[in-house]
Amino acid sequence: MSEHNCPHSCVDCGTFSCGRGGFAGTKEDSPFPPFCLTTGMDEELMKEVMDLYQEEENKTAMIAAAEVEHEFYCQLTRLQETKEFAKKIGAKRIGIAFCGGVKEEAKIVTKYFRHHGFEVYGACCKVGSVPKTEMGIPAVCSETTGKIACNPIMQAKILNKAGTDLNVLMGLCVGHDSLYYKYCDGLCTTLFTKDRVLGHNAASVIYQANGYYKKKLFD
């Protein structure tokens, strides 16, 4: 669907009035845009979602997330926040789904969580050592990045079987992370995303979208 026939949504809003609370209705001077998803909310959908927040796991996670944000706002790194969140939800065993390219980083993260009293069980992206061609991947894809396929569904299944309470993703490829999330049974959080060009700082290209990367992104 092109940008010309896709309805406007939150990405097209310039006010962020929903973040300040309150409803302005349909007045012409409303701080909410006419296509606002908040003022035009489906009440049945809102009730369905609010009921879901009352389910035990969801409620625990939401309260824990809010408390971590409140207590450590702009004080802790993402890694430290993950530890605090895990403590607040009562997690005992941390699962780590990691890319083989960041195996040394995974060792440090494992050491960190174990130091703070957690059990850690990890699954590397190449687990199973399955050739790419056996998954139906074209042979040409083996020429630059090796013959063995990443195996995100297996990573998810292994961590499901291990009974992990919280799963931490580290550097899974674009698309592989999608399949991991699809098949993971438990709560997940992403410690960092892979970006080989930008040293795994994927957001930096956005900050330079009107600068150094403008031509690369929009030409």
pLDDT digit string, tens, across residues 69-110: 999 999 999 999 999 999 999 999 999 999 999 999 999 999
Q: What mean pLDDT, rounded, does the chain reach? A: 92
Region 204-214 average pLDDT: 87
What pLDDT shows up at residue 30?
A: 64
Residue 134: is its pLDDT beyond 80? yes
Spell out the domains of the chain, with CATH numbers in brackets: 77-207 (3.40.50.11840)
Q: What is the pLDDT of residues 50-59, one digit of tens each?
A: 999 999 999 9
Identify residue 140 by its one-letter amino acid code: V
Residue 149: is its pLDDT beyond 90? yes
Alpha carbons 50 and 81: distance in angstroms, whole number = 25
Confidence at 20, pLDDT banded by 50, 70, 90: confident
SS (H, E, C) the chain: CCCCCCCCCHHHCCCCHHHHCCCCCCCCCCCCCCCCCCCCCCHHHHHHHHHHCCCHHHHHHHHHHHHHHHHHCCCCCHHHHHHHHHHHCCCCEEEEEECHHHHHHHHHHHHHHHHCCCEEEEEECCCCCCEHHHHCCCHHHHHHHCCECCCHHHHHHHHHHHCCCEEEEECCCCCHHHHHHHHCCCCEEEEECCCCCCCCCCCHHHHCCCCCCHHHHHC
Q: What is the pLDDT of residues 160-192, one digit of tens each?
A: 999 999 999 999 999 999 999 999 999 999 999
Token representation of residue 18: 């929903």
Region 121-129 average pLDDT: 97
Residue 135: is its pLDDT beyond 80? yes
